[in-house]
């Protein structure tokens, strides 16, 4: 969670509050978590969403304060209710996994949706997966694919992998092993290790390809890696003349 402490540099006039925030950031970077906590807390109580989020992280990680999931969620929620996108996503995560709150897929979906609508790729992928299996929402293949595509475009690995499985199986999209393999081919070996049956899924898909379609898939992977081109590359491949 430490990486969720977001460093924000403001140009121009720096108020006392901003100076206090910067002091908290510097203390946190130096590993002086107690001082960082003491710097962020007054700002959090004044309603600063980023400071509220940082306090949530520090309760979550036990940095400068006793670890407490319940208190972490108090501050994550305060930040999330002000539109803090990562706070919203983490509230979705907390409800999904029952961390400091009762497990509640409806609440998880609601918070993930708020973050997803702000463009958070991880939340978009989570929404896609929840639509896929019907957790906290009615199962819907079309909406699942819509959100997976959005997350995949922004580089979310689970969304890319889940979208690849959909093309491999023809669920919510036309079945196409070239597109499926091209998506699986975005990951290196270590990244596949972190995905459920990652290597197995890629190998099984590759075995269904011919020499020519394998070359097509590798070329499609290359096109997908261009900025903001993943979904365009897929559409172009699927719509090319036979």
29-65: per-residue pLDDT in tens? Answer: 899 999 999 999 999 999 999 999 999 999 999 999 9
Q: Is 181 a member of any domain?
A: no
Q: Indicate which CATH number applies to the domain containing 10.
A: 1.25.40
pLDDT of residue 66: 95
Q: Is residue 52 part of a domain?
A: yes
Report, in this order, helix, strand and coil percent for the chain, each rounded to 5: 70, 0, 30
Domain annotation covers residue 27: yes
Residue 117 lies in a domain: no
The reply to whether 232 falls in a domain is no
Is residue 194 included in any domain, yes or no? Answer: no
Q: What is the pTM of this model?
A: 0.86
Q: Is residue 200 part of a domain?
A: no
Handedness of CA 232, 186, 129, 171 (dihedral sign): positive
Query: Is 86 a residue whose pLDDT tops 50?
Result: yes
Instruction: Give the CA angle between residues 56, 57, 59 to the nearest 5°.
Output: 65
Q: How many domains does the chain have?
A: 1
In this prediction, residue 186 carries a pLDDT of: 95
Q: Provide the pLDDT for residue 128.
A: 96
What range does the domain containing 29 cover? 1-76
Coil, helix or strand at residue 222:
helix
56 located within any domain = yes
């Amino acid at each position: 969670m430490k990486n969720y402490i977001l460093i924000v540099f403001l140009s121009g006039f720096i108020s006392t509050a901003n100076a206090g925030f910067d002091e908290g950031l510097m203390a946190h970077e130096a590993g002086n978590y107690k001082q960082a906590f003491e710097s962020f807390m007054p700002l959090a109580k004044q309603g600063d969403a980023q400071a509220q989020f940082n306090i949530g992280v520090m309760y979550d990680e036990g940095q400068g304060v006793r670890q407490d999931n319940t208190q972490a969620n108090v501050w994550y929620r305060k930040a999330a209710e002000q539109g803090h996108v990562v706070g919203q996503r983490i509230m979705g995560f907390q409800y999904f996994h029952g961390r400091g709150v009762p497990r509640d897929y409806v609440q998880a979906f609601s918070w993930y949706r708020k973050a997803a609508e702000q463009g958070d790729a991880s939340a978009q992928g989570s929404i896609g997966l929840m639509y896929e299996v019907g957790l906290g929402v009615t199962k819907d293949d079309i909406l699942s694919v819509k959100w997976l595509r959005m997350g995949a475009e922004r580089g979310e690995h689970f969304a890319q992998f889940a979208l690849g499985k959909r093309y491999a199986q023809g669920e919510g999209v036309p079945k196409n092993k070239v597109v499926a393999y091209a998506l699986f081919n975005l990951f290196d070996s270590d990244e596949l290790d972190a995905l459920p049956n990652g290597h197995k899924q890629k190998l099984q898909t590759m075995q269904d390809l011919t020499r020519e379609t394998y070359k097509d898939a590798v070329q499609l992977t290359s096109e997908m890696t261009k900025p903001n081109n993943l979904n365009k590359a897929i559409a172009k491949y699927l719509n090319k003349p036979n």
